[in-house]
């Protein structure tokens, strides 16, 4: 006999959009039931943002020791390092487990009831949850928040399994592959490809577009491409993967030739898609926007009191966007007046070097004569020189309106620049002018001085260049 639960709010998906909504609802005194078949934290915490950054950190430490063993660096010498990737993965899993426990504690404090199972809707406000032990729970709710997230796109001729892996599989390998082929030169493929190159793998990247990281402008991606070329990563741009041929990946190059690339593992990273299958979306009567659930500026769907947040409703597929939407929806349900209308959502690419983009980029203002653009190189920043972050072509760029000097967009590329992303987002959200940033005394020595100097340069009086 199935258990029946009636709740004020049902949340499907315990990623950042879902669990943040549950926590905020609890703070506002509203009960909720959260359903997810996987671990708390969703893609980002379990198989995305957090574990990938842990692997990238470990790879960077390994590379540093390897440099010290290869003739020394900064006066430091060391013995040739080795890596037990299984131990590294276990360390990474420990971090994930700790964070899982933290989310579980927060959910308990919010008095959210967590059901570890798969939800299937029979109508817009009713779902049956099939638990791991075979039992079922029927949940009826006044409000439903859909936060089902996204999943890796699988190529029909390169299905996941065996030596063909997704980013999830790459984060759980027990050994560094000798030869790794990455299909897709977006941020996920390059982040992981660079990490495995640092760990000693021979890496080849296959990309259908004519350049890497096609969503970013060329000036931002050039330093990354130079790193790849300097470190022996083979690039096949304008090329298409065709399928596996034994232990090789067959590709068609841009000039029509067929090549076979030896591969111990093939990492397919050609994008992500919203999870819309298998949980009864078709029974809910919701309007769609292409592959995504259609919502308004408050994340309301076409069905009364059914909400959707995060990757399920479209780009950008970013965890921090999902969290902000989950918090907003919780507050609207509690009677507060909110809309989701950010000036900009900063995005970070954790490649080598890192890339940030917030607001408008050069491609967005191309041909306009009413904007100011200014670039300041990291090579003129003392902190960058002191931490070996000044020689890879890194810079900070600002774009502002010529008439009133209001910042419209900010970008950066360079080592460790990801830590500047929140200052960039804050400046845009607060409607800062060039003069506002120029008037803030930035701490010396820090990389943030490059942002200060870029604004000064846009005003015509940079100090250190």
Catalytic residues: 444
d(CA 12, CA 45): 17
Specify which residues 347 forms β-bridges with: 357
Angle, CA of 365, 367 and 371, to the nearest 5°: 50
Specify which residues 308 forms β-bridges with: 146
In sequence order, what are the residues at sequence separation of 6 or more whose Cβ sits closer than 8 angstroms to the Cβ of residue 315?
none
In sequence order, what are the residues at sequence separation of 6 or more whose Cβ sits closer than 8 angstroms to the Cβ of residue 304?
none
d(CA 415, CA 177): 26
- In Å, how far from its chain's centre is CA 299? 21
The DSSP symbol for 122 reads: E
For residues 234, 240, 246, 247, the Cα torsion angle rounded to the nearest 10 degrees is 20
For residues 331, 332, 336, 339, the Cα torsion angle rounded to the nearest 10 degrees is 100
Burial letters 199-227, b for 16+ CB under 10 A, else e: bbbbbbbbbbeeebbebbbeebbebbbeb
């Amino acid at each position: 006999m199935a258990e029946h639960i009636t709740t004020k709010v049902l949340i499907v998906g315990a990623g950042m959009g879902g669990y943040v909504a549950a926590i905020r609802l609890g703070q506002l005194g509203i009960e909720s039931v959260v359903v997810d078949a996987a671990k708390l934290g969703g893609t980002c915490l379990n198989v995305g943002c957090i574990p990938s950054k842990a692997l990238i950190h470990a790879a960077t430490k390994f590379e540093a020791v390897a440099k010290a063993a290869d003739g020394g660096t900064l006066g430091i010498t060391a013995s040739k390092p080795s890596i037990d990737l299984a131990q590294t993965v276990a360390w990474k899993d420990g971090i994930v487990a700790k964070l899982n426990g933290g989310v579980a504690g927060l959910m308990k404090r919010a008095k959210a009831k967590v059901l570890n199972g798969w939800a299937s809707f029979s109508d817009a406000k009713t779902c049956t949850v099939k638990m791991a032990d075979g039992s079922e729970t029927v949940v009826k709710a006044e409000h439903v928040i859909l936060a089902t997230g996204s999943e890796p796109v699988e190529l029909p001729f390169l299905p996941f399994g065996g030596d063909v892996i997704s980013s999830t599989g790459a984060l759980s390998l027990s050994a560094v592959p000798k030869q790794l082929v990455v299909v897709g030169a977006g941020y996920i493929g390059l982040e992981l490809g660079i990490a495995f190159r640092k760990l000693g793998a021979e890496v080849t990247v296959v990309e259908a577009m004519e350049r890497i990281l096609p969503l970013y402008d060329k000036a931002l991606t050039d330093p990354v491409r130079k790193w790849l070329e300097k470190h022996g990563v083979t690039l096949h741009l304008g090329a298409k993967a065709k399928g596996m041929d034994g232990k090789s990946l067959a590709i068609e190059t841009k000039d029509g030739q067929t090549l076979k690339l030896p591969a111990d593992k093939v990492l397919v990273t050609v994008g992500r898609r919203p999870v819309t299958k298998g949980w009864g979306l078709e029974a809910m009567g919701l309007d769609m926007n292409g592959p995504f659930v259609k919502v308004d500026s408050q994340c309301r769907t076409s069905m009364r009191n059914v909400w959707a947040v995060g990757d399920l409703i479209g780009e950008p597929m970013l965890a921090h966007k999902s969290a902000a939407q989950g918090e907003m929806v919780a507050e609207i349900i509690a009677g507060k007046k909110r809309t989701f209308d950010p000036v900009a959502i900063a995005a970070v690419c954790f490649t080598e070097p890192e890339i940030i983009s917030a607001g408008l980029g050069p491609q967005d203002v191309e041909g306009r004569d009413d904007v100011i653009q200014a670039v300041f190189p990291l090579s003129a920043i003392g902190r960058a020189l002191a931490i070996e972050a000044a020689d890879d072509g890194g810079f900070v760029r600002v774009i502002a309106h010529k008439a009133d000097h209001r910042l419209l967009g900010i970008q950066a590329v360079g080592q460790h620049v990801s830590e500047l992303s929140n200052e960039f987002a804050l400046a845009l959200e607060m409607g800062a002018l060039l003069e506002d940033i120029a008037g803030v005394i930035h701490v010396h020595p820090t990389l943030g001085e490059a942002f200060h100097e870029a604004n000064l340069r846009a005003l015509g009086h940079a100090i250190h260049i």
